[in-house]
């Protein structure tokens, strides 16, 4: 899935889960434009048998953000186009076909944090640290961070990160919701794959509704949200896969809540 002589992205598929690895460990998995384009294409071209994705970085870091060695001197319009290219790629992660579980360790910084916040479930290891250093470099977030990150931690906390250069630890990130699970050293990938396999067994339409409808409902006025919820409930309940799952539950052929803790 790489168009470069030096692969920057690798993918493996097993048990209906695609494990996508950012493979630039010497650069702390910093994001080049070529890598961002490969990331978008990978999510657009997922094989039909894939029902969930695990996204992680090779080595000690998830992603250190924009590769500043490739930073170009854009004019205003070029800068807008560049940011919109990143938006398009990360939108394919958040609003693609299947849920994405990310593994966060080491640097989750700048564009790396923007990428992480476009995934649906985030598993962190104790080495993870979070920062938005753009303010100290005369920049502004450009990968959707100003939209996604405040919805997780609040805009005032993001303001603090950008103005002061503050670095959050894994424990602080867990408390603020940047991660959903905090596991032991080296345990992130196995935990993420376990979660992804569980997610992959859900009805695809139900997963799709959670990914696409839930964030939109959350940003709507209550009356509009209630109506969209009713529509999505009716659509998912009418799916043949959902009907079969309900029959399995009623006939005691399905596990109960709490059986998979």
Active site residues: 114, 134
CA-wise closest residue to 161 among 232, 113, 96: 113
Distance set, CA 214 to CA 95, 192, 206, 219 (Å):
11, 22, 11, 9
Strands 129-131 and 107-109, bridge-based pairing? parallel
- Measure the CA–CA gap between 135 and 111, rounded to whole angstroms: 13
- The DSSP code sequence of 61-96 is -SB--B-GGG-----HHHHHHHHHHHHHHHHHHHTS
- Measure the CA–CA gap between 130 and 110, rounded to whole angstroms: 8
């Amino acid at each position: 899935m790489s168009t470069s002589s030096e692969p920057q992205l690798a993918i493996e598929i097993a048990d209906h889960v695609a494990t996508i690895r950012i493979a630039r460990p010497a650069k702390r998995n910093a994001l080049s434009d070529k890598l961002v384009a490969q990331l978008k294409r990978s999510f657009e071209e997922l094989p039909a048998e894939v029902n969930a994705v695990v996204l992680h970085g090779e080595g000690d870091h998830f992603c250190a953000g924009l590769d500043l060695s490739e930073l170009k001197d854009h004019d205003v319009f070029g800068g807008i186009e560049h940011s919109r290219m990143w938006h398009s790629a990360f939108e394919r992660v958040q609003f693609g076909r299947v849920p994405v579980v990310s593994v966060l360790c080491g640097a989750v910084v700048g564009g790396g944090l923007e990428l992480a916040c476009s995934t649906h479930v985030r598993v962190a290891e104790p080495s993870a640290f979070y920062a938005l250093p753009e303010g100290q470099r005369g920049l502004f977030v450009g990968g959707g961070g100003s939209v996604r990150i405040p919805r997780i931690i609040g805009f005032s906390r993001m303001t603090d990160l950008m103005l002061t250069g503050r670095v959050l630890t894994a424990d602080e990130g867990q408390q603020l919701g940047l991660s959903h699970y905090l596991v032991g050293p080296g345990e992130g990938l196995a935990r993420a794959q376990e979660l992804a396999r569980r997610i992959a067994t859900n009805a695809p339409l139900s997963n799709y509704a959670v990914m696409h409808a839930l964030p939109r409902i959350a940003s709507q006025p209550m009356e509009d949200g209630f109506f969209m919820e009713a529509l999505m409930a009716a659509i998912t309940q009418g799916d043949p896969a959902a009907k079969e799952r309900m029959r399995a539950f009623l006939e005691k052929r399905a596990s109960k809540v709490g059986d998979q803790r």
